[in-house]
Every structure is written in structure tokens, then in C-alpha cells.
Structure 1
Amino acid sequence: MKVFRLDDLEAERAANEGAYLQFLRERNMSAGLYALDAGSHDTQKPHLQDEMYFVVSGRASVSVGLETTEVARGSVVYVPAGVSHKFHHISEDLRVLVVFSPPEA
């Protein structure tokens, strides 16, 4: 069994001074914690894997392809492989659990 605590993951991510911390990598999936502070810009590019976001905290808008919606704590967003997507108008520090399937390359 593998168990993770958000506070520990956030501390490790911050200590490594990166926006993204991959904390799980298995044969069929990987998972990470993504952090974008209020007012920052999301620079990610489309991925080769399907992706799911679970917003742990914060507020922002997210665009996936041609669709845009607002997200906040508890929002879940699915992004198909190869589709352009970005968080923007980040009004509160955003913390997001990210799951890739298959694992991120």
C-alpha cells in the first residue's frame, strides 16, 4: 500500500522549488501535485496521455480545447491526450492533483 498526505507532498514540492511534483509512477498511471500561485501563468503543453485534474484548493479558469470553465476546490477536469489545455485567471493559489494514464513520459 502507498499512502500520501497532501501536506507532505506540498512541502516536498516547495522544497524542490518546482510547480510539479510527481509522487507516484506505476505501470498504468502516474500522479503528481501541480501548484500555480495566484496571478501566475500555466505554461504546460498538450500531453501524450489522458489526464485528470482534481482541484484541492484555489480558484482559476481552465480551458480544454475550445471550452473554458471556472474551477475551485472539489472540481474534477478530464483532458484527453493531445488536447491543448491551460489554467488561467488564477485568483487564489491553485493546488491540483494530477493523474496521467498511461504514466507521463
Structure 2
Amino acid sequence: MKSFRLDELEAERAANDGAYLQFLRERNMSVGLYALDAGESDRQQPHGQDEVYFVVSGRASITVGTETTEVARGGVVYVPAGVPHKFHHISEDLRVLVVFSPPES
């Protein structure tokens, strides 16, 4: 079993001065913590893997392909592989768990 604490993951991510911290990688999936502060731009590009976002905290909008929705704590969004997607209108610091399948390369 592997167990993680969000507060410890956030501290590690911040200490490494990056927006993304991958903390689990297995044969069929990987998981990371993604952080965008209020007003920040999301610069990510489409990925070759399916993704699931679970919003831990914050508030923003996300556009996946041509569809846009607002997300906040507890929200879950699925993004198919290869589809353009971006968070925007980030009104509260956003922290998101990201599951990639297969694992992010």
C-alpha cells in the first residue's frame, strides 16, 4: 500500500517551485498534484493519455475541446487523450489531483 497526505504533497510541490508534482507512477496510471494560483495562466498542452481531474480546492473554469464548465472543490472532470484543455478564470488558488492512464511519459 502507498499512502499520501495532501498537505505534505503541496509542501513538496511548492519546495520544488513547480506547478506539477507527480507522486505516484504505476504500470497503468500515474497521479500528480497540479497547482495554479488565482489569475495564473494554464500553459498545458494536450496529453497522449486519458486524464481525470479531481479538484481539491479553489475555483476556476475549464474548457475541454469546445465545452466549458466551472469547477470547485469536489469537482471531477474527465479529459480524453489528445483533446485540448485548459483551466482559466482561476478566481481562487486551484489544487487538482490528476490521474493519467496510461502513465504520463
Task: State the TM-score, normalizing by the size of structure 2.
Answer: 1.00
1:80 corresponds to:
80
Q: Tell me the CA shift for residue 76 of structure 1.
A: 0.1
1:39 corresponds to:
39
2:89 corresponds to:
89
Percentage identity across paired residues of the two chains: 85
- Within-5 A mapping of 1:1-105: 1-105=1-105
Amino acid at match of 2:60: A
Structure 2 regions of 5+ residues with no counterpart?
Answer: none
**What is the CA deviation profile of residues 6-32 of structure 1, one whole-angstrom value per residue up to 9, with x for unaligned ones?**
000000000000000000000000000
**What is the CA deviation profile of residues 27-54 of structure 1, one whole-angstrom value per residue up to 9, with x for unaligned ones?**
0000000000000000000000000000
Task: State the TM-score, normalizing by the size of structure 1.
Answer: 1.00
Partner SS for 1:81? coil
Looking at structure 1, the residues matched to 13 and 101 of structure 2 have their Cα atoms a distance apart, in angstroms, of 21
**What is the CA deviation profile of residues 81-103 of structure 1, one whole-angstrom value per residue up to 9, with x for unaligned ones?**
00000000000000000000000
Structure 1 regions of 5+ residues with no counterpart?
Answer: none
